[in-house]
A and B are shown apart, each in its own frame.
Chain A
Amino acid sequence: MENWINELKSSLKNTMKEILYPLAAIVISFIAGAILVYAFGKSPITAYKALFFGALGDWNKIGETLVTTTTLILTGLSVAFAFRCGLFNIGAEGQFIMGGVAALWAGWALSGLPPILHVTVTLLAGALAGGIWAGIVGWLKAKVGSHEVINSIMMNYIAMNLSNYLIMTVFNEPDKAFSYEIAPTAKLWRFAESFVQFKYSRLHTGIIIALIVALIAYYILNKTIRGYEIRAVGFNPSASEYGGINVNRNIILAMVISGLFSGLAGGIQTAGVQYRVNNLFGFTGYGFDGISVALVGNNHPIGVILSGVLFGALQKGGPMMQIEGIPKEVVGIIQGIIILFVASNFVRVMVQKYKENKEIKAQVAKGEVK
């Protein structure tokens, strides 16, 4: 036990080094964003001030930022975990929706259970639904060989429409475009109940769950045989099979675990934030944001936590920027630029090129190369 905590520490040190490049990329993209805001005829200083205060201006804002962060960490972990097995889980969105609906059912139908047990069951129901939803995609990939991207996109649509159907029929609150509320015993504890600082925010214990899940994901991936196998399949399925690893089983397993994370995110959204499920007019976007979060976090659980915080702050600071008269699209563009810079490894490539050039020059100077 202590052994792997130590290793986690040393890997954290390594991550610090790994973080430098994305961090530089983020700084560059913020500069690019500033130029963009300036081009729109607004002051970048006002814009970033609004972004900062909107996301972290007071305890309530921090609380709200963490509410979004919780969801993003979980969907980010979901995408990252599947990615480690070489799978592109674009279906996190659908798994998130199914998790939300399943938690709604458990939160309502099983009322009467003692509080803590009921919350746990509610969240587990959400996770399980997400796991099954992703498991179908994994099973299809393993048994029939159909591509997980296409299948999971389709499963997203099925999830959204199934959810809307259920919300408007069996779970419907009469004359409303949303479901009824879950039982009080199924609700996650909110910080507002004990801390007056968070009075106006919906910050709930889900953030702690998300952090624990990130550690679990790290443990599974790096400290278990199963995790090793999953990563091996991700690196090279053929070589793994040759090495005696059951590729199909690991594909299904990775998808199911990935779906558990997204489903849990949906469950937490129901049990901690909304207490009900809305009739969706379009995708919530949390699953798709998870892809960005995973990419910027380099598909590493710890990186996902950090990028989850970054994206949470961007999303919650965005409204304040809008109130200051900056179009909502600009916030989206800044997010896009960050992903572009980080995912393209722009800084690392530039630094490496610079170093190579220096070496060549030194060699030329010495007369070793002509």
Chain B
Amino acid sequence: MTKKTISLLLALVMVLTLFTGCAKPAEQPAGPAEETPAAPEAPKYSFGMVTDVGGIGDKSFNDSAWAGIDKAAKELGVEAKLLQSTKQDDYTPNLGSMAQSVDLTMAVGFLFEDAMKTSADQYADKKFGVIDTVVDKPNVMSVTFKEHEGSFLVGVIAGLTTKSNVIGFVGGMDFPVIVKFEAGFIAGVKSANPNAKVIVNYTGAFDNPDKGKEVALTQHQQKADVIFHASGACGIGVIQAADEKDFWAIGVDMDQSAESKKNKVLASMIKRVDVATYTVIKAYADDKFNGGAANAIELGLKEEGVGYSDGGKNVSAELAAVVDKYKAAINDGTIVVPGTREDLETFKPVEIK
């Protein structure tokens, strides 16, 4: 029994030494900072990001946004702060907590729209940045994307790749932001291949791969051999269907070629969320921060905010050259890509060979 007591005591001593060991490094940086509040090496810039419940590691939005913030932080020589939300109803307090400790608080996604409005009012002296939605507050800088321009390019790729002249589009929910993908994509297909037909379907969800697969298989039965999706996680099902039935899928947001086991992702329409977050921080650091809806930035092809990627090496050099011509035409204003269904109706396909 005494042996046990001694060993317990020893363990306790070990634990205590651990504490003394760690107490010191904690006090050292805190001590001088408190004594001299205006420390000369104190970073001039401070910013952080609040993620949605998806969090870092989602291999999508949040990871990409953080990459841009991290890049800016390294350039400015400061450490960016990160807060990952665990509950959907905690966005407002989380934005508030972040705003209390940094100058510029970033958040990505339209889910933050409401919370951002509230927090921007509560912390009127702090700056905020929001990506993918527009919040009309003087201290909020909004960045959105011209998704239709990127979708146009993959539309061209789809139009020139299809053999059956039937192409599918799978959308998540019928929101204006998803319709941008649809309109741009159809415009791209029609420009490159006037004979092609586009079947449009919506899954009604963003988080249901089974639904995505079901819709893709139905479209494939209707002879579609290239299917573009803008449906979040439903797209994983679209790519699975492409693997099973041997047709092409086109990914969205990030390079999704790794999702396919048989390299059936033709290309991916990418949204550079990292460019967006980097742009906001850069504007803040350069004293060019502009809030309000009127100053909202829209990143398109020209700003490298959208584009396409070919991780699976499925786009041939000739095809890529044609796509580059279309890209140049969009950049110089020869082609104005439609972003709504109304604009699509009046859009005249431009064929470039």
Interface residues of A (CB under 8 A from B): 31, 34-35, 38, 43-46, 54, 60, 64, 168, 175-178, 199-202, 269, 273-274, 278, 280-282, 284-286, 315-316, 318-320, 322-323, 325, 328, 357, 361
**B contact residues around A322 at 8 Å (CB):** 82-84
The answer to whether B39 has its CB under 8 Å from any CB of chain A is: no
**A contact residues around B204 at 8 Å (CB):** 168
Do residues B87 and A285 form an inter-chain contact, with CB atoms below 8 A? yes
Do residues A200 and B15 form an inter-chain contact, with CB atoms below 8 A? no
**B contact residues around A45 at 8 Å (CB):** 22-23, 26-27
The answer to whether B349 has its CB under 8 Å from any CB of chain A is: no
A-B contact pairs, 8 of them (CB 8 A): A34-B22, A45-B26, A64-B93, A168-B173, A176-B113, A273-B89, A282-B53, A323-B48
Task: State the Cβ distance, B237 to closest chain A Cβ, in Å.
Answer: 16
Main secondary structure on chain B at its contact with chain A? Answer: helix
Chain B, range 60-89, C-beta contacts under 8 Å to A: 79, 81-89
Task: State the Cβ distance, B202 to closest chain A Cβ, in Å.
Answer: 11
Given contacts A319-B93, A322-B82, contact A34 B19 (CB under 8 A): yes
Chain B, range 99-132, C-beta contacts under 8 Å to A: 101, 110-111, 113-114, 122
Do residues A320 and B89 form an inter-chain contact, with CB atoms below 8 A? no
**B contact residues around A38 at 8 Å (CB):** 18, 21-22
Do residues B176 and A200 form an inter-chain contact, with CB atoms below 8 A? no
**B contact residues around A282 at 8 Å (CB):** 53
Q: Which of A176, A199, A201, A269 has the most CB of B within 10 A?
A: A176
Known: A45-B23, A281-B54. 8 other contacts (CB 8 A): A175-B175, A200-B122, A202-B92, A274-B89, A281-B53, A286-B87, A319-B85, A319-B98
Bound complex: CA A222 to CA B224 (Å): 67
**A contact residues around B114 at 8 Å (CB):** 178
1/0 contact trace for B164-199 toward A, CB 8 Å? Answer: 000000000101100000000000000000000000
Query: Which listed residue, A177, A278, A325, A357, touches B110 by the CB 8 Å rule?
Result: A177
- List the B residue with the shortest CB-CB distance to A37: B22
**9 closest A-B pairs (Cβ-Cβ)?**
A43-B26, A45-B26, A38-B22, A322-B83, A64-B93, A328-B84, A323-B81, A278-B88, A200-B122
**B contact residues around A286 at 8 Å (CB):** 87
The answer to whether B219 has its CB under 8 Å from any CB of chain A is: no
- List the B residue with the shortest CB-CB distance to A322: B83
**A contact residues around B88 at 8 Å (CB):** 278, 280-281, 284
1/0 contact trace for B18-57 toward A, CB 8 Å? Answer: 1101110111001000000000000000001000011100
Task: State the Cβ distance, B178 to closest chain A Cβ, in Å.
Answer: 10
- List the A residue with the shortest CB-CB distance to B26: A43
Bound complex: CA A177 to CA B109 (Å): 11
Task: State the Cβ distance, B2 to closest chain A Cβ, in Å.
Answer: 10
**B contact residues around A201 at 8 Å (CB):** 93
The answer to whether B97 has its CB under 8 Å from any CB of chain A is: yes
The answer to whether B159 has its CB under 8 Å from any CB of chain A is: no
**A contact residues around B111 at 8 Å (CB):** 177
Task: State the Cβ distance, B206 to closest chain A Cβ, in Å.
Answer: 8
Bound complex: CA A284 to CA B88 (Å): 7
Do residues A319 and B83 form an inter-chain contact, with CB atoms below 8 A? yes
Bound complex: CA A285 to CA B1 (Å): 45
**A contact residues around B21 at 8 Å (CB):** 38
**B contact residues around A168 at 8 Å (CB):** 173, 204
**A contact residues around B214 at 8 Å (CB):** none
**B contact residues around A175 at 8 Å (CB):** 175-176
Bound complex: CA A328 to CA B30 (Å): 23
Bound complex: CA A318 to CA B98 (Å): 12
Task: State the Cβ distance, A23 to closest chain B Cβ, in Å.
Answer: 19
**A contact residues around B55 at 8 Å (CB):** 328
**A contact residues around B84 at 8 Å (CB):** 322, 328
**A contact residues around B93 at 8 Å (CB):** 64, 201-202, 316, 319
Task: State the Cβ distance, B32 to closest chain A Cβ, in Å.
Answer: 15
The answer to whether B96 has its CB under 8 Å from any CB of chain A is: yes
Do residues A35 and B18 form an inter-chain contact, with CB atoms below 8 A? yes
Query: Which listed residue, A35, A315, A325, touches B15 by the CB 8 Å rule?
Result: A35
Bound complex: CA A325 to CA B26 (Å): 13
Given contacts A54-B97, A281-B54, A284-B88, contact A43 B83 (CB under 8 A): no
- List the B residue with the shortest CB-CB distance to A60: B96
**A contact residues around B298 at 8 Å (CB):** none
Do residues A278 and B86 form an inter-chain contact, with CB atoms below 8 A? no
Query: Which listed residue, A273, A285, A323, A361, touches B101 by the CB 8 Å rule?
Result: A323
The answer to whether B279 has its CB under 8 Å from any CB of chain A is: no
**B contact residues around A177 at 8 Å (CB):** 110-111, 173
**A contact residues around B207 at 8 Å (CB):** 281
